């Protein structure tokens, strides 16, 4: 009797999980639950990832910092030089020019579009309703042999060459663990415009009670991507705000 009841409970709960999983909201809840819990995610203030990319046989170390309020930067160490890419202090987006080693601002439109994501740290899905985003379960899809729930995330419209465009990203959550193993979105600007960017996430590991993917392969859907191998993730790092500031170099005339 006891065993039967246990079995029944298990069956019911299995069934209910299944039926819950029909909605996007529950998949997202499960995701946060399985990777540390909603409260922990809400209390996270920053992430610092130490990683390596392999460029033609050469390992290039880089550091990715993301903080609340959208502050972020990637620091590449190349031939003894520190090169900053995609630095955003909440207002100005800038990068180091590889030729001159000087800081250059990104074009205003890219900056404005990124500004819209300022409230997305640590995760676009965290408080998505309050942010006015919509999520939709599109269906199931197999990614590299794994069954996934395909969720469509729609954020605020962005501006591309002066015209408003929808901002849609598809996340593929593994049906077993409820963590995203792939992210796809249409590239809106630049040379790859119109192609689908794909980031594959794998090798989830525990860091202070959270689970993060330690391997990310970035590229174009259907093509071989560039793997980024993460060595270490530091939570709530202390980072000097000044590092995000654009070093203003145009000056007034010297008298």
Give me the residues that bind another protein (CB under 8 A), please: 97, 99-100, 102, 104-111, 161-162, 189-191, 193, 249-251, 253-254
Find the angle CA(152)-CA(157)-CA(158) to the nearest 5 degrees: 115
Question: Least distance to another protein from the beta carbon of 251, Å?
Answer: 5
Three-class SS of residue 121? coil
CA distance 182 to 175: 12
Q: Collapsing DSSP states into helix, strand and coil, what is residue 20?
A: helix
Contact 70, 120 (CB under 8 A): yes
Q: Confirm if 20 and 178 have CB atoms less than 8 A apart.
A: no
Rank residues 191 and 238 by Cβ distance to another protein and give the closer one.
191
Q: In sequence order, what DSSP letters do the residues of 70-90 get, joined into one string?
A: G-EEEEEEETTEEEEEEEE-S
Round to whole Å and give the CA distance between 218 and 228. Answer: 8
Smaller CB separation from another protein, 109 or 123: 109
Using alpha carbons, select from 37, 35, 62 the residue that is nearest to residue 51: 62
Tokens of 145: 């042999």
CB of 145 or CB of 162, closer to another protein: 162
Nearer to another protein, 145 or 194 (CB): 194
Nearer to another protein, 145 or 253 (CB): 253
């Amino acid at each position: 009797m006891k065993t039967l009841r246990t079995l029944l409970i298990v069956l019911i709960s299995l069934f209910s999980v299944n039926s819950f999983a029909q909605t996007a909201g529950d998949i997202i809840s499960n995701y946060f639950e399985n990777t540390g819990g909603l409260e922990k995610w809400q209390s996270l203030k920053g992430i610092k990832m130490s990683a390596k990319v392999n460029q033609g046989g050469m390992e290039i170390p880089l550091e990715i910092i993301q903080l609340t309020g959208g502050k972020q930067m990637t620091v590449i160490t190349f031939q003894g030089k520190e090169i900053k890419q995609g630095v955003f202090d909440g207002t100005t987006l800038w990068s180091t020019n590889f030729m001159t080693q000087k800081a250059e601002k990104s074009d205003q439109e890219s900056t404005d579009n990124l500004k819209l994501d300022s409230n997305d740290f640590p995760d676009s899905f965290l408080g998505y309703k309050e942010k006015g985003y919509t999520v939709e379960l599109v269906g199931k899809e197999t990614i590299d042999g794994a069954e996934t729930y395909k969720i469509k995330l729609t954020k605020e419209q962005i501006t591309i060459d002066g015209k408003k465009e929808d901002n849609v990203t598809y996340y593929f959550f593994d049906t077993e663990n409820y963590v995203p193993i792939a992210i796809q979105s249409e590239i809106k600007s630049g040379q790859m415009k119109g192609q689908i960017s794909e980031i594959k996430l794998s090798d989830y590991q525990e860091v202070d009670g959270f689970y993060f993917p330690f391997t990310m392969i970035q590229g174009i859907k259907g093509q071989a991507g560039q793997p980024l191998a993460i060595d270490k993730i530091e939570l709530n790092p202390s980072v000097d705000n000044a590092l995000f500031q654009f070093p203003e170099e145009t000056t007034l005339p010297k008298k």
